[in-house]
Each structure stands twice: as structure tokens, then as C-alpha cells.
Amino acid sequence: MESFKGDGAQLTNFIFTAIGGLAAIWFFLEKGVVWIPILIVIGVVTVWFCKKWLCVTIFTSLTIILVSLVLIIDYTNNNGNGDEILSLIHKFDNQSLALQVEIQPTPPLIVGQEIYLHFTNNSNSNGYFLAFSIDSEGKLFSFVPKSLKLPEIQRYLKIDKGQTIIIPQPNVPEDPFIGITAKTVGSHLVVILIDELPSELVGILLLESEISTSKVLTNLHEKLSKPVLNEVGGTRRLKWSSLVIDYETVSSKTKED
């Protein structure tokens, strides 16, 4: 089998192999896969001592295959099964009259268009609202101001009985909700009205980019259904209601047509 010819060729090949290996290691570590980088290190060392072009070909091919597999698995986990996500969304679709929601401008919306959400608390008690959208690809976007700390977040999400809140507030550049836009084609808007806002619920939505949509929805529903401590040391059920609004988002080209 043909080996590398000359120290220069060997060194050049090893440098490129090492650079590719380091990039692959970073990729897998970012995805939380630890055992594959260990194999890559072993592969790079093997290429150096092997000094055969076949070793380089095998190493490169296996790395590409592993990256492809992780990307496929990551895409599946992040977006989840479409039917599963729809089933989980329907758990929040009780069309509560305690909460009124309006999207402005009126859909269909254009991808990237700035939108305003009007929330009205029609219940007989004060509460908090949680809102998030899920696009046609199963990606979740929460309307929780990530730039704020928990006490401030709770203050921004508070809504008194009979009150109407608009997010983002028009003509208020410092509003942490500023920049809410129609994300991608097709969306579900899920809005929850709750009498108390435990930090765990906010934490779940703050993890939207780190865990799958199905996991977010499952954890959120479980936390809403789980008893919490009351003022006298006992437990009680959270009082919450929710609704799901399906709205259409189109590309600018489709809108023009």
C-alpha cells in the first residue's frame, strides 16, 4: 500500500487531518457526545503512525459518517415527531374564556414581520401569562424576555384581572419583548394564564433552544399539573387555563402573489 512520500507530504497531510479532527471534536462536544471525540483523537494518532493514504481515507470517511449521523439524530430530537408535537399542543387547547388573545397585524403574516400580541385577562383574579409559538417545522419560540432575571421576568408576565397587555409595547424601545416577529411558515400560538408563576415554569421555556420541543411541552404540562406548596405548608393545584391559536405565516413572495 502506498505510503506518504517525503516528510513534507506527511506533515502537511497530518496537519490537515488534525485540523479536521479538531473541528469534528468541537462539533461533537457541542452536541454533548463525548465518546466520539475520544475515537477521533485515536484516529488522528493512528494516521500519524500509519503513514498510509488508506488510513487518511478511512479516517475522513468515518468522521463524515459520524457527523452526518449526529446531525440527523440531532435534527430529529430537536424537532420531534410532528404528530407527537401536535398531540402535545392539543393538551393546551382548552379554548379558555378566561383569556382573550389577539394577533396584530391580522394574519396571514409575512415571515420576519414584527407582530404585537394583545392579552386580556377576563378571569376574576390576577395572574401571569406564558406564551410561545411553534412553527411548521416543530421549533418552539418562547415569548419570555431572556435578557431579564427571574423577578423582573415575573413582573413583565403579570396580568391583573380585566387588564389588557400588549407585547411588545408600541414605541417603547427598551421593552424586553421588542423584536417579536413571525418566524417561519405556519405557526401555533400557545398562551397560558396561571395564578402563580413558579420559577420552574419560566426555566423550562428559557431552555427552548437546548431541549426538544416535545420535551418542553411535556415538562411544561407536567409542572402545570403538579401540586405546589401553599401558604400554610400544604399543597394545592395551580389554577391555569390556556388556548391555542393557529395562524398563517407566508413568505413575502407568496403574500405578493
- Range with the largest mean pLDDT of 24-28, 42-46, 64-68, 173-177: 173-177
The pLDDT of residue 44: 64
The pLDDT of residue 163: 94
Distance CA 257, CA 249 (A): 14
The pLDDT of residue 12: 62
Nearest to 132 by CA among 53, 33, 207, 229: 207
- Range with the largest mean pLDDT of 52-56, 65-69, 76-80: 65-69
Alpha helices in 150-198 (DSSP H): 150-157
The pLDDT of residue 4: 47
Of 6 and 140, more confident = 140
Distance CA 118, CA 227 (A): 30
The pLDDT mean for the chain works out to 76
Look at residue 147 and tell me whether its pLDDT is greater than 80. Answer: no
CB 236 within 8 A of CB 110: no
Maximum Cα interatomic distance, the chain, rounded to a whole number of Å: 83
Query: pLDDT confidence of 1, banded at 50, 70, 90?
Result: very low
Q: Which of 8-17, 100-109, 214-223 has the lowest mean pLDDT?
A: 8-17
Task: Domain ranges for the chain, please list them.
Answer: 6-79, 83-256
Query: pLDDT confidence of 156, banded at 50, 70, 90?
Result: confident
Of 84 and 21, more confident = 84
Q: What is the pLDDT of residues 207-254, one digit of tens each?
A: 777 778 888 899 999 999 888 887 777 888 888 989 998 888 887 655
- Range with the largest mean pLDDT of 44-58, 68-82, 88-102: 88-102
Alpha helices in the chain (DSSP H): 6-30, 35-50, 53-79, 82-90, 150-157, 199-206, 213-225, 252-256
Q: What is the arithmetic mean of pLDDT over 192-203?
A: 88
95-99 long-range contacts, Cβ below 8 Å, gap at least 24? Answer: 95/243, 95/244, 96/193, 96/241, 96/242, 96/243, 97/122, 98/122, 98/123, 98/193, 98/241, 99/123, 99/129, 99/191, 99/193, 99/241, 99/242, 99/243
Query: C-alpha grid cell for residue 144?
Result: 419570555
Q: What is the arithmetic mean of pLDDT over 50-67?
A: 65
- Exposure on the CB side of residue 182, measured as CA atoms within 13 A: 25
Of 104 and 11, more confident = 104
- Exposure on the CB side of residue 245, measured as CA atoms within 13 A: 21
CB 99 within 8 A of CB 122: yes
Query: C-alpha grid cell for residue 78?
Result: 430537536
Q: What is the arithmetic mean of pLDDT over 45-72?
A: 65
